[in-house]
Amino acid sequence: MNVTCGPSPEISDEIFWSEFSGKIERLRIPFSGGIALTHRCNLHCLHCYAREKPNPQDNSAPELSTGQWKKIIDDLREAGCLYLLLTGGEPLLRDDFADLYSYTKRKGLLITLFTNGTLITGQMADLFRELPPWQIEISLYGADAATHDRITGVPGSFTRSLQGVEELAARKIKFTLKSILMTLNAHEFPAIEKIAQSYGVDFRMDSSIFPSLAGDRSVLDLRVAPEQAIANEFADPKMVGKWRDFLNRFHAAAEGEDLYACSAGTTTFHIDPYGHLYPCLMVRKLRYSLLHGTFQQGWNEVLSGINETKSDANFKCRGCRQKLLCGFCPGFFELENNSDQIPSAYLCALGKLRFERVNQEISGG
Amino acid sequence: MNLDRKFQKKETIASRCIADEFFLVPICSQPSDMQKIFILNSPADFIWQHLDGEHTLDELITAVVEQFEVDQEQARSDTVEFIGQLLEQNLLELEGAS
């Protein structure tokens, strides 16, 4: 008999997690997902994908009630969800946020929270100290108030976000700062990263701005040139190794005819504030209303359709060597080109540049 | 370790069974690093489920012998060691200690 109780910080136990990942994929268990508690926000960020309600009928639809969310959380637990993202809009705008957060924690789910930080009061930070989240990610769009507030559209938001950060730091609660790279803030990225360093926390950037869920493409004007995005990304010397590890680990995922080779609808899901269940935030073509049935019904009867979606014979990404480096995402393609089989030219350019950069570094060039 | 002792799972831990694997998920802040979960194999989960504050350690060892067809000495050694790990990780308490 071998009795073990090995502490497993994230995915350090590679053998267990590698085998377990295969198992939950075969069994199609919704191990990880996200719920947008609200699309309301106290900021009005220029690049936000949820600036307008994605579906016109949602304009009159009420957000799910506390009781409805708790029922869904019960169902998620039963279905095998361990990692749950709470996002928005700004999730802390919900009057019942503390109640829903505590309820989810006590059910044994590991919570990641996406927030702009402006509503993290001392009382809220005390809650996070008592019931720690798995991760908190706070968005910071500039290194100073002028840039950040210009992007959020709300004067004073930079100061309030940093006040929230201070509340967390004072209680030694782990968090990450993150930012979206765009034309308005690209020049400030080293300084934003220094703010993260001053708190001793991780910093994460993303350059993939995509159209709003309601179809507004004007936000794409905020994208920086692919060359600049890659230069910013590889300013971190660890990125080459990270991409190389990623390639080694997931190279098989680039093969095959399945269009959705990712985890969407297989082990991950997304639920919007009105109770619509989707395979992920981006993929909107499969949808099930949890007002009319249980999570398990939607997962089994509707989202399972994701596995039946094959790529066209002339799909450009088939066999592409850069597919794992571009941020390949048919949901992204759909939002950008109204077809999940027409690649995003922007992502293609990023993939090509990353491929060159990684190969160049590996060959010592 | 005194075999007449009774142990109780802390209420600050949630146990989850997902795809036939057993996880212990800390709910409340721990003195040690919070950013970890615990994965139990089948014998460990069997013991965990029996830590109900009602059975003595001696009774638990007997149940382990019957369940896994191992000799008394090995069951005692493994169970005591495992309970020691749980105590060290602050996942367990002596019945009546809270």
3-state helix vs strand vs coil in chain A, percent to 5: 45, 15, 45
Strands (E) located in chain A: 5-8, 32-36, 83-87, 110-115, 135-139, 176-180, 202-206, 268-271, 276-278, 288-289
In one-letter notation, the amino acid at residue A287 is R
Residue A252 DSSP code: G
Please confirm whether the linkage preceding A89 is cis (ω < 30° from 0): yes
Mean pLDDT over residues A321-346, rounded? 91
The chain-wide mean pLDDT, for chain A, equals 90
Q: What's the alpha-carbon Rg for chain A, to the nearest Å?
A: 20
Q: Is A13 on the interface with B (CB under 8 A)?
A: yes
Nearest CA in chain B to A107: B14
CA distance A128 to chain B (A): 9
Closest to B20 in 3D by CA, of B41, B36, B44, B38: B41
Q: Is B2 on the interface with A (CB under 8 A)?
A: no
Task: Give the Cα separation of A299 and A281 in Å (integer).
Answer: 15
**N-term to C-term CA, chain A:** 53
Write out the two tokens for A38.
């609200």
Task: Give the Cα separation of A220 and A239 in Å (integer).
Answer: 25
Task: Give the Cα separation of B91 and B60 in Å (integer).
Answer: 17
Q: Is the pLDDT of residue A5 over 70?
A: no
In one-letter notation, the amino acid at residue B13 is I
In one-letter notation, the amino acid at residue A326 is C
> Nearest 5°: CA angle at A329, between A351 and A336?
95
The reply to whether residue A130 touches residue B29, judged by beta carbons under 8 angstroms, is: yes
Mean pLDDT over residues A223-232, rounded? 95
Q: Is A79 on the interface with B (CB under 8 A)?
A: no
Helices (H), B34-89: 42-50, 57-68, 72-88
The reply to whether residue B89 touches residue A5, judged by beta carbons under 8 angstroms, is: yes
Q: Which residue has the tokens 């935030």?
A: A281
Q: Is B5 on the interface with A (CB under 8 A)?
A: no
Q: Please tell me the pTM assigned to this model.
A: 0.91
CB A77 within 8 A of CB A109: yes
The reply to whether residue A3 touches residue B78, judged by beta carbons under 8 angstroms, is: yes
Write out the two tokens for A61.
């639809």
Task: Give the Cα separation of A314 and A286 in Å (integer).
Answer: 23
Mean pLDDT over residues A148-161, rounded? 98
- Taking only residues 49 to 78 of chain B, the set having a beta carbon closer than 8 angstroms to any beta carbon of chain A reads 64, 68, 70, 74-75, 78
Sign of CA dihedral B91, A11, A277, A43: positive
Q: How far is CA A240 from CA A85, A145, B80, in A?
A: 28, 32, 46
DSSP letter string, A171-210: TT---EEEEE--TTTGGGHHHHHHHHHHHT-EEEEE----
- Taking only residues 19 to 38 of chain A, the set having a beta carbon closer than 8 angstroms to any beta carbon of chain B reads 20, 23-24, 27, 29, 31
The reply to whether residue B64 touches residue A1, judged by beta carbons under 8 angstroms, is: yes
The reply to whether residue A5 touches residue B38, judged by beta carbons under 8 angstroms, is: yes
Interface test with A, best of B29, B60, B78 (most A CBs within 10 A): B29
The pLDDT value given to residue A364: 60
Task: Give the Cα separation of A107 and A304 in Å (integer).
Answer: 26
Q: Could you read off the pLDDT of A273-307 as tens digits, one per residue? A: 999 999 999 898 899 999 999 999 999 999 999 88
Strand partners, B24: B15, B38
> Between A325 and A53, where is the model more confident?
A325
The ipTM is 0.88
Q: Could you read off the pLDDT of A97-138 as tens digits, one per residue? A: 999 999 999 999 999 999 999 999 999 999 999 999 999 999
Q: What are φ and ψ of residue A207, in 5° steps?
A: -110, 5
Q: Is the pLDDT of residue A7 over 50?
A: no
Closest to A295 in 3D by CA, of A67, A81, A57: A81
The reply to whether residue B47 touches residue A82, judged by beta carbons under 8 angstroms, is: no
Strand partners, A289: A276
CB A196 within 8 A of CB A177: yes
pLDDT band at A8 (very low <50, low <70, confident <90, very high): very low
Top mean-pLDDT range of A100-114, A350-364, B20-34: A100-114
